[in-house]
Amino acid sequence: MANVTVVGAQWGDEGKGKVVDWLSNRADVVVRFQGGHNAGHTLVIAGKTFKLSLLPSGIVRPGKLSIIGNGVVVDPWALCEEIDRLADQGVVVTPDNLMVAENVPLILPFHGAIDRAREEASGSGRIGTTGRGIGPAYEDKVARRAIRLCDLKDAAYLAEKLDRSLTHHNALLRGLGHPEVDPAPLVGQLMAVAERVLPYAGVVWQKLEDMRHAGKRILFEGAQGAMLDIDHGTYPFVTSSNTVAAAAANGSGVGPGSAGFVLGITKAYTTRVGSGPFPTELNDAVGERLGERGREFGTVTGRRRRCGWFDAVLVRQAVKTGGIGGIALTKLDVLDGFDTLSICTGYELDGGRIDHLPANAAEQARIRPIYETLEGWPESTQGARSFAELPAAAVKYSRRIEELIEAPIALLSTSPERDDTILMTDPFTD
C-alpha cells in the first residue's frame, strides 16, 4: 500500500490540517513527525471547528490511530490540555487511538522562560518565535541533555538528569538576569503529569514497522513549512527542526523509502508569521484584503499573518528540496473578486535576475519580486467540488502555478470544510 507525507511548501499555515484530515479517511495511521505545540492545525467538520497543535489531525477520525513521533518535542502539560479540550468537543483520546514515542524529548517550563528571555534580549534582532520553548528543547536534544518521555518512569533517574540539565540552563538564566530553576518542585510536577502521559508511551518505530508489514496505509503529517526548515529555510528566521519530507523517516523511526508520495500544501497566495524576509509581502490594501478574507491569524498564537502574492520561485524551490510530487492548492476562494492577480516568477538581486531564494540573509532582504499579471475572476469558487465548477480564469491561474513550480496540483481546496475538496490525483495510488 502507498504511504503519503504531507508537508508545507511555504512558511506554514497553508492548510495542512484540513488536507491531512481529508486524506486520513483512507489512511490507517496518522503520524506527526516534527515540531511542537507552536504549530497549529485548524479543522472545520460539519460546521464545528477543532484547533490542534500537538495531536495529529487524524485524531478526529474514529477508528484511526494517531502517533506522535520521536522528532516532535512535547510539552506534557500542553498535551493534556489539548486532550481535555477535544474531550469537551466530543472527541475521546485514549491509548487506543494515540501513541507517543517513548523517546520523544519533553518541553519543560524553563525552556519557555529561556526562549522568551532570549527574544527579549535580542531587541530588533529577534527571530519571532512563539516563546513556547521549542528551540531550547531541540537544543537540549542535540546537546544530549534532553528529558525524554521514558525518563518519567523513574523519579530518581529523572532528578539526576534534571540536575545535569539545569547546570547549563541556570547559568544561561542567570546571565540573562532571570531567576534560576529549583529542580525539586519540577520533579514533583513531572511525576504528577507522568500518570497522565505515560499510558500513551510506546515503541513507535516498532508499531510502524508492524503496520507496514501488514500493508497498512501511513499518513505522515508535517508542521510549519519548507521555508521554515532549519537547513533549507530563511535562516535564521526559521523553526528548530527539519520540516521537509525527509524528516518523516528520522522523526518517526522508519526507513526513508516509507515516506511514499510527498504532497506539498500551498496557499493560492503567500503568508508568513513572525520576522524574516518575505519578497512578495503586500503592505497595502490588497494585503489587508487577503488577510481579512483568508482570516489570517495564527491558530496557536492569534498573531496576524503577513500576506502577499503567490511566490512561484519559493514554492518551486520547496518542490526541489522537499521531493514534492504534487501540491494541494488551498484557499483559492480567497482570491475571488480580484480584477487581476500577480504571481512572482523570479527575483531581482543587485541588478541581476535569479531563479532561487539565496541562502544569505542579507541577500534575502535585498531581493525584489518580478511579477506576472493574470486575469482575476468575479465568480465565487467557494465550495466547488469539481474542476468543472471553477471559473475559466481560476483554472488558468491554477495551471500557470503548475507550470511555474514544476509540479502538478493533486488536490484543490475551496473552503475550510472537509468535503470542499477537488481531487485531481490520488496521492495514495498515483
Which residue shows C-alpha cell 504528577?
192
Calpha distance 127→178 (Å, rounded): 20
Residue 232 a catalytic site member = no
- Which residues partner with 347 through β-bridges? 354, 369
Bond from prior residue into 236 cis (ω within 30 degrees of 0): yes
Q: Known catalytic residue: 96? A: no
Closest CA to 110 of 143, 140, 151: 140
Helix (H) or strand (E) holding 373: strand 368-375
Per annotation, catalytic residue among 37, 41, 111, 169: 41
Distance (Å, rounded) from C-alpha 132 to C-alpha 315? Answer: 28
User: How many CB atoms sit inside 10 A of residue 247's CB?
Assistant: 26
**Distance from C-alpha of 210 to C-alpha of 108, rounded to nearest angstrom:** 32
Burial class (CB in 10 A: 0-12, 13-18, 19+), 114: buried
DSSP output for 229-267 = -TTTSSTTSS-SS--STTHHHHTTT--GGGG-EEEEEEE
Which residues are known catalytic residues?
13, 41
